[in-house]
Amino acid sequence: MGADGAGRPWIAGWAPGNPHSVLARWTGTEWATEELPADVTEHSEMSTVLGVAAVPGTRGVLAAGTAGCASDPVQCGVLVSRDLG
Question: What DSSP string describes 18-85?
Answer: -SSEEEEEE-SSSEEEEEPPHHHHTTEEEEEEEEEEE-TTSS-EEEEEEEEETTSSSEEEEEEEES--
Which pLDDT score is estimated for 77? 82
Question: Which tens digit of pLDDT belongs to each residue from 24-35?
Answer: 889 899 998 888
The stretch 32-61 carries a mean pLDDT of: 82
Q: How, if at all, do strands 2-3 and 44-54 pair? A: unpaired
Distance CA 58, CA 38 (A): 24
pLDDT at 55 over 80: yes
pLDDT at 42 over 80: no
Which pLDDT score is estimated for 29? 94
